[in-house]
A and B are shown apart, each in its own frame.
Chain A
Amino acid sequence: MTTATAPRAIGGHKDSFGATTRSDRWWQGGALTAAGLIFFFGYLTVRAFQGTWLWANPYISPTGAPPLFTPASGYAGAIPVSHAWLGAFPAWWPRFLPQSPAFFFPGLAIAFRFTCYYYRKAYYRAFAASPPACAVAGPRLKYRGETALLLFQNLHRYALYGALFLLVCLWYEAFSAFFKNGQFGMGVGTLVMVLNAALLSGYTFGCHSWRHLIGGRKDCFSCDAGSKRAHGIWKKSTWLNSRHMLLAWLSLFWVAFTDFYVMMVSRGVITDLNTW
């Protein structure tokens, strides 16, 4: 029996930032999460500000879909004016901002992911170190949880409503990708867009707020026919909810990949294999 050095902390626990007796690579999860979030959201932010190479007939990048406005000229690979809901960017559009369709409806996805219960865990841990990892001490800052500045997180369901609207639009765009100049067919880009909409559906319908709204708020699932139907939907949502983190990452990756694919085809770097 030997005596080790004696720390002052009771129970051997210290409170300084990062203090832990964990012997595993506890920092790895947070570091990978931070790297993934920075990479994917960084890429999509750059693409949103570029506003170029968002269209490769009949494919549209999710970064620009659905397009409220589109630039009439000056942007290579821009979405055709005829495809935009309100046509070309208006004259009052500020000159210091690029004419990017990403500034409108696609922004709804940012609100949805930012307030998502999974992403909250991810960035609270990875960026705010609150906590850095389980049983690892965070910074000695005043903690208010989600009772003060972060109260807005309670409006996640409104971001969900926006995401549901966006989802309908992306399914429409995916369906439209089966038609090129009025002719039915399909290409690799069509499959990429359909998979994008499918993964986003899996992520959205596993949302905790959705799961609550469609049935979770009820205490009785057997009381009436409506509640029984709600229970069926709730169980399916619960299945997706248990995979929410996986679907959050897969759908994020695939949104970026879909954009990248459309950009590559639009620039002529790769040739889309298709039936047209």
Chain B
Amino acid sequence: MAQRTFKIWRGDSEGGEFVDYTVEVGPGMVVLDAIHRIQAEHSSELACRWNCKAGKCGSCSMEINGKPRLSCMTRLNSLPEGTVTIQPLKAFPLVKDLVTDVSWNFEQNKRIAPLKPKARDADGNHRMMQEDVDRVQEFRKCIECFLCQDVCHVLRDHKKHEKFVGPRFMVRLAQLEMHPLDTDDRIEKIRKEFGSGWCNITRCCTEVCPEHIGITDNAIIPLKERVVDRYYDPVAWFIRKVLGRK
């Protein structure tokens, strides 16, 4: 088995440093395997959040060679030769080593009103056709790894957490806004409270999404266009106000 060096951030919110660990690596190993080996052989107190090890729980998000990725889905042989740098997510407060406090995201989720379904059909059922739910089904693939939140420069670099809800929750808003049964009017909040205008659609969220959700093209831009319908399109405004059409 070959040896490989990992440069891992160790520390907490007060400070810390990069520490180099060299361990044996084998074929098929992912970054999370290497971290577990470091925990077993060098530093049992190295903090790292993980759970399913199958790319479905979204727990093991971290930055590997500077890119936000799931450590359980990043094979070592997919990384270039040399030292592998591993850091915690940048957009959220650091707890310890590779663990960040992502609870801000859960607070954002609470701000979003749940589905407000229209009345049931006469037989007591709700009915949706497949073509109506295709779009929102894509959004349900989200595993809430928050890699998109981490890479979004509005949150990551500009720290606009109080202005912009972030790509993950624009996806959730799109999922509800486009839902064929939802009756809630969310457009005003999408613009004013959740900050659709803060996104400058540079697509990093889409690039890092492990579920390959078209975050920018299928969620954020369609929401921006709906905001344009309501607030910026003078013809749509005229039709709505003067002719009384929605």
Contacts and interface: CB of A to CB of B under 8 A. Distances in A.
Interface stretch (A44-52, A187-195, A208-216, A263-271): A208-216
Contacts of A211: 222
Contacts, number: 176
A134 B197 CA distance: 19
A20 B156 CA distance: 12
Given A21-B65, A21-B66, A24-B65, A147 B198 contact: yes
A219 B204 contact: no
A121 B201 contact: yes
B200 A221 contact: no
Given A121-B203, A219-B132, A241 B217 contact: yes
Interface residues of B, number: 69
A146 B198 contact: yes
Given A124-B200, A151-B232, A154-B228, A135 B68 contact: yes
**Chain A interface category by residue count:** 35 or more
B20 A2 contact: yes
Contacts of A10: 11, 13, 15-16, 94
Interface stretch (B26-34, B53-61, B83-91, B107-115): B83-91
Contact of A145 (B7, B151, B200, B227): B200
Interface in B2-43: 7, 9, 11, 13, 15-22, 42-43
A1 B200 contact: no
B197 A222 contact: no
B132 A221 contact: yes
Contact of A23 (B82, B151, B154): B82
Contact of A208 (B100, B151, B225): B225
B62 to A, nearest CB: 10
A13 interface: yes
Given A13-B90, A143-B160, A154-B228, A7 B66 contact: no
Contacts of B217: 117, 208, 241-242, 244
Nearest to A161: B235
A23 B65 contact: yes
B66 to A, nearest CB: 3
Contacts of B89: 11
A4 B13 contact: no
A137 to B, nearest CB: 5
A3 B19 contact: yes
B75 interface: no
A7 B153 contact: no
Contact of B18 (A4, A131, A154): A4
B234 to A, nearest CB: 9
Interface stretch (B165-173, B175-183, B237-245): B175-183
A4 B20 contact: yes
Contact of B198 (A117, A145, A157): A145
A131 B132 contact: no
B154 A219 contact: no
A177 to B, nearest CB: 34
A154 B232 contact: yes
A225 interface: no
Given A13-B90, A208-B221, A150 B132 contact: no
Contacts of A222: 129, 131-132, 180
Given A24-B80, A154-B232, A221-B132, A1 B198 contact: no
B245 to A, nearest CB: 13
Interface string B175-207: 001111010000000000001011111111001
B66 A135 contact: yes
A128 to B, nearest CB: 9
B199 to A, nearest CB: 6
Interface string A112-125: 00000100110011
B18 A7 contact: yes
Residue among B131, B160, B216 with the highest chain A CB neighbour number at 10 A: B131
A65 to B, nearest CB: 27
17 contacts: A4-B20, A11-B9, A12-B85, A15-B157, A121-B201, A125-B202, A130-B202, A131-B202, A135-B68, A138-B153, A146-B198, A155-B228, A212-B225, A219-B132, A219-B180, A222-B132, A222-B180
Q: Top 7 A-B pairs ranked by shortest CB distance?
A: A22-B66, A6-B17, A134-B204, A222-B129, A145-B198, A21-B66, A212-B225
Given A131-B157, A135-B68, 17 more contacts: A4-B20, A7-B18, A10-B11, A13-B87, A21-B63, A21-B85, A120-B200, A131-B202, A135-B156, A146-B200, A147-B198, A151-B197, A154-B228, A208-B217, A217-B225, A221-B131, A222-B180
